[in-house]
Structure formats: structure tokens, C-alpha cells
Amino acid sequence: MTTSRASRGALAGLAAIGLLTLAGCGTQPAAGPASKPAVSGEGRTIRATQVSHVTDVHASTGMTLLEGPVLAGKDELYVTDVTAPPGEPKLISVDVGTGRHRSVYTDRTGAYTSAQISPYDDRVYLTEYQTGAVVSLARDGSDRRTFFPGEVDGSAMNPDDIAFDDDGNLYVSDLHGMKTGRAEGRIVRIDRDGRKATVLADGLAHPNGVMFDPEQHGLWISELARNTISYLLLDADRTSVTSRHEAIHVDGGVAQTDSIAVDGDGNLYQALHGRPAMAVFSKYGERLGTVEVPAEAAKGLRSATNVAITPGGRTAYMTVSGPSGGYVYTFTALAKGIRLSNGG
């Protein structure tokens, strides 16, 4: 998340609620209109259409930032509003058939940068940027529990995204302070019981997206401050990294790499902080296309933060935010989704 984010590139300067920079949680907000016609090097244009206008800019925080899309049932999409003020909806249910939305959960202090559903206990897991905690909820928003308090190797996380393996263990991108010019971010593995946390990779420049490949052999991660996508090959039990390499450099101009998703064919959907669009790559690094919102709508939008692709289908739901508010858009993915495609 990040924006002047935390947009998955977008956690920006939100002094009003105690946030310095939400990682799109990105660094500085990018200026200027974001969408542009497809050009050579950007692949085919994949048109997105509006599903719902979910939030408006909050007067007390000066922005709204939707994140964490995850399909929670038939026609039901959960999203988080990272910058929602105390007491306003922080986990929101959107009916993707009608566009109607309702509050599922709120509290006084949380800034929730992602939402995911565990394959182990079927609860909704939220990353809380300010304290570093990972919390879980029943599907209806009740029974809040602190799953993991946030400290890893003596310092608190600033968690952004979550990926679950099939056993229910969590893999979290940790911005870890997100200081300009310093590469101190981490990828953290948390056992499914919340008792043990292991740093799988460190020295990262504002890691934002984290997602498994379809076979769960390794993790794709994006680094906001480097505009890169890297691949971490894991050992057989997925508890350590056996190799790591930079796989793709994203030529985004003013835009930066936010969250990342995969489809069942292994294609990568890279959200962009600073442009309401997603870059689509093959697992071999070929630029296959660019997901774009309509040009007129793009004038009031700044970032696409994340996407959920329907497991077993090609319908995808993308969270997009900017001065016009927070929106959900839909597009047709290049391949069918799998469990891992459902948000992050």
C-alpha cells in the first residue's frame, strides 16, 4: 500500500492519526493525472470498469485509501480503508453485484493496510501498520483477536501485505520504519499459531507486495523504493530462502510498485502507486498488458493498490483511490484465479 500512501505503496503522512507514511504504502504522493493510452512496451490495454464508489476523502485525514480486497463470499468483497478516522468503517463489505457497501468492523486506533482470509481457520486477518500487529476477526467482524503483537527480532513491524500458504502460515511484507534512503524492510514468516516469527529476507527498500507463485515454491515481492519485483525461492518447508534475485524492473515513471497478485497461470499483476493502473507480466518478465481505468475517471484517482481475482474465474476486483474517493473497479484477468489470487 502507498500514497502520500501507504498504498501498498501508500501509507502517507497522516499525522492526524499518527501515521508518518503509509506504504501504499508509498513515499511521496505522485503528482499529475495517472492514466494514459497504452504505448509500446506496456502490452495490451485491459479496460477496467467501476463497480462501486465506496468512500470519499475524510476531512480529518485529508485522504481515503482502499486496500486489501478479498472475496469473502458470493458477490461479497471485503476492503479496508487505511486512513479511516476513529469510528468510521475500516473493514468494508462491498456487494460487487449492486455496488452497495456496509461497515463490517471499526475501532478507534487501527490503520489496516491489508485483509486476507486464512485457509486454516477461515478468519479475516488484518495488518495494523502503526502498532505492527496482525489481528483476526470472525467473518462478520466480531471476536477481534490479536494474533501477533508485532515485534520481530527486537523491533516492531510496519506490516503491509499478507500471503498465506496452504497450511495457514503467514508471510508478511514489513516496511520496518520506511525511512527515505534506507533499505531496512523485511519479509517475515509467522507460524499459523502466531508463536514464532522468522525473518526470511531483509535489507529491502520498502517491501510492499508479497505473494506466492501458484506452486508455492517461492514468493514474489515488490520493493516500492526500487520499483522492482524479486523472486525468493523457498526451501521445501517454506521456512527459509534458498535463493533471491531481482526478476523485473518496472519502468513506472512517477509511479511505484505497490501490491502484487498472481493468477493460476503464474502471471503477475503489479499495482502502481502514483497511477491508477496495474502492470501485468508473465512469470518470465514479459510485459503482457496494463489494466487501465477510463481516462476521465483517472483524473481524480492516484493509485491502484491491490487486486483480488476470483478463484476459478477470471473476474478481478481492483482497489483504486485518489482525490475523487475510494473505488472498486473490475476487469477480466488473463487467466483464472486460484486461492492465492484472492487478495493479499
| CATH class of the 9-338 domain in this structure | mainly beta
What pLDDT sits at residue 3? Answer: 41
DSSP 19: B
Query: Which amino acid, 25?
Result: C
Domain ranges of the chain: 9-338
What pLDDT sits at residue 1? Answer: 59
The pTM of the whole model exceeds 0.95:
no
Contact (Cβ atoms closer than 8 angstroms) between residue 114 and residue 80: yes
Chain centroid to Cα 72, Å, comes to: 16
Residues 290, 295, 299, 305: is their CA dihedral positive or negative? Answer: negative
C-alpha distances out from residue 334 to 19, 282, 288, 331, Å: 36, 10, 9, 10
90 backbone dihedrals φ, ψ, rounded to 5° = -115, -30
pLDDT along the chain (344 residues), means of 10: 44 40 43 37 92 96 94 95 95 98 96 96 96 96 96 94 97 86 91 96 94 97 95 97 96 94 98 96 97 95 96 98 97 97 88
What pLDDT sits at residue 83? Answer: 95
